[in-house]
Chain A
Amino acid sequence: MVYFIAKRLIQSVFVMLAVAFLAFSLFRFVGDPITQMTGVETSVADQDRLREELGLNDPFAYQFARFTGDLLKGDFGFSYRTRQPVAEMIATRIPATLELGIVALIISLVVGIPAGVYTALRPRGIATQAILMATLVGVSIPTFVIGIMLIFFFGVQLGWLPTFGRGGTVKLGGWETSFLTIDGWRALILPAFTLGVYQLTLTMRLVRAEMMEVMRSDYIRFATARGVPMNRLYFKHALANTMVPVITIIGLQFGGVIAFSIVTESVFQWPGMGLLFLESIRFVDIPVMGVYLVVIAFFFVLVNLIVDMLYVLIDPRLRIRDVS
């Protein structure tokens, strides 16, 4: 098991290095950093001096090593657009995106797993056909349209919920949370649901496919023959064995949630990282784009590492294989 985790850790480090390299190439080769940092009136001599000071004339590998070192120290450079430290800009945006993503993920699991189990157990039922058709439509409606529709019905027509921003937030240390006020929760509902719908359909389809596969297996048939009560059979024997792929998908979905939060944040003017990333693309603010990538990749790698460790907890076979 130690070997397994160590192997995953090393792989993760390589993924992070690859992403850091991408971010570095962005910074170094998309446009000239010097022209971005200086104005029109800066003389050529001054530009050259700055180039030398920043070490842009050093060998490529050396520059990349320094870039990675700076990243590790938390020094993410300065934005071309606002001239603020990128680390600060991203850090203030992280809580908004993470809270939105986590609530969306919970919605997708709490609704998606039971729906998947139900549709797998009653494949010919009318409700199942309706749910399956609804998921097909759900997959086809773009996230931003779902957002607009929710804004229209619950925000404009009914006037129940706020349609933009985070509402009331409370500062806990450096973390600005909307979990502690009613206003914050109200503002969170529509964006989280918008973000969760697409993931929900994926969760449901996966759980359904896995569950149907498991229900066909010999040990379930044997358990049925033995007279194990149906509910116990479904939820203890069958569902437990669908959990490994479901946990995998949570890991993958986390990436999806973060990426689609760009769209959701844009529709609801949610002040998270996604909105910042969009602004930075519009203004070709390369340092912010690069750091956004690195931060996203870091979360992604971290979640997948945790998922891998959960496997070992859930699936006893993995523990045994290690011993032999």
Chain B
Amino acid sequence: MLAFIKRYEGLWLFTRSPAVIIAAIVALVIIIGAVFAPWIAPINPYDLSSFSLTDGLLPPVWEEFGSEEFLLGTDDQGRDMISSILYGARLSLIIGVCAMTIATVLGVGLGLAAGYFGGRFDAIVMRIADIQLALPAILTALLIDGIARGVLPPEMQQNLRVTVLTIAIALSLWVNFARTARASTFVQMNKEYVQAALMQGQHPLRVMFVHILPNILGPLLVIMTVDLASAILLEATLSFLGIGLPADSPSLGTLIRIGMQFLLSGEWWILWIPTLFLVALVVSINVLGDFLRDVFNPRLR
């Protein structure tokens, strides 16, 4: 019942804020476009036979010399920009969602356990979290990526790029989840329903995941949204730095890095259109995260 009222109230707030509605629509359009990229994109940017150099550097359709075949123009290789962006957003979202999921599972698991058991386990987890919090996420991710380069044999590096990147991002984001889950668990531990469950002699795992977890989901959901945005930004930044993904499987960050070469020439669309998509996606997710925070934390309203 409580959940229903919360949801209802959330919906009501939702219709009251135009910024949030716009953000939701933008995020939804980009996500749907990315998910269905193989079916809606005009060409496959990974398939060298699907585009040709003779179509290179065409501007978007509304500019002079634009072609209706390529609505947002083409890059220097003749690749259709829409297709590159849809596939790029797809890769960015896949890495972002996977990294965020791993970070959630790891962080919430450790945080719940730390809050539940307390004592030495709690102290160890929190010390690790403190140390990692001193290192900004991007430094952690760069470091893990660097270590993976040193440890993995060269022939596996290319194939595992996406995996390494995802894990590096996940490991630099788990701390937030752990701290929030731990703090919320502490609060729940004193509630009567938890005490009752404990007294019945229920298994600790059952108490943690069946009883406590549903009651601390609210703040965690907010962090998931904000961290999805952070994960997408981190991936874009790493790829932009040339540390992330190779140029043959471009994410939005890689597209922007490639577009940088055209900064001084007239081909603005190669750089600015992927940039616009990245910023629109991240801004929308952050606006939604802010909205969720307000819904779950009415005190701040």
Contact = CB atoms under 8 A, between A and B. Distances in A.
* A and B assemble together: yes
Interface of A: 15, 18, 26, 30-31, 133, 136-137, 139-145, 148, 151-152, 156, 255-256, 259-260, 262-263, 266, 277-278, 280-282, 284, 286, 289, 293, 296-297, 300
B151 A31 contact: yes
A152 B263 contact: yes
A212 to B, nearest CB: 10
A280 B287 CA distance: 37
A293 B278 contact: no
Nearest 3 Cβ contacts at the A-B interface:
A30-B150, A259-B136, A281-B146
A284 B263 contact: no
A142 B281 CA distance: 12
User: Chain B contact residues: over half helix, strand or loop, or mixed?
Assistant: helix
Interface of B: 19, 131, 134-136, 138-139, 142-143, 145-147, 149-151, 229, 233, 236-237, 240-243, 256, 260, 263-264, 271, 275, 278-279, 282-283, 285-287, 290
B138 A260 contact: yes
Contacts of B136: 255-256, 259-260
Given A30-B151, A255-B136, A277 B142 contact: yes
A30 B147 contact: yes
B237 A143 contact: yes
Given A30-B150, A136-B286, A140-B282, A255 B240 contact: no
A156 B147 contact: no
Contacts of B290: 136
A55 to B, nearest CB: 21
A200 to B, nearest CB: 16
B278 A142 contact: yes
A18 B271 CA distance: 42
A255 B286 contact: no
B143 A293 contact: yes
A153 to B, nearest CB: 11
A33 to B, nearest CB: 11
Contact of A151 (B138, B150, B263, B275): B263
Contact of A282 (B134, B138, B242): B242
B131 A281 contact: no
A262 B135 contact: no
Centre residue among B142, B229, B242 by max chain A CB count within 10 A? B142
B244 to A, nearest CB: 11
B240 A136 contact: no
Nearest to A281: B146
Given A145-B278, A152-B263, A18 B131 contact: yes
B134 A140 contact: no
A136 to B, nearest CB: 6
A259 B139 CA distance: 6
12 contacts: A15-B131, A31-B150, A133-B19, A136-B290, A141-B282, A142-B278, A144-B256, A259-B139, A262-B241, A278-B243, A281-B149, A284-B150
A109 B4 CA distance: 44
Given A148-B271, A152-B263, A259-B139, A26 B237 contact: no
Given A148-B260, A259-B135, A281-B146, A266 B241 contact: yes
Contact of B279 (A140, A143, A284): A140
A300 B132 CA distance: 13
Contact of B241 (A136, A278, A289, A293): A278
Given A259-B136, A262-B138, A263-B138, 4 more contacts: A139-B286, A156-B264, A281-B149, A289-B146
A148 B237 contact: no
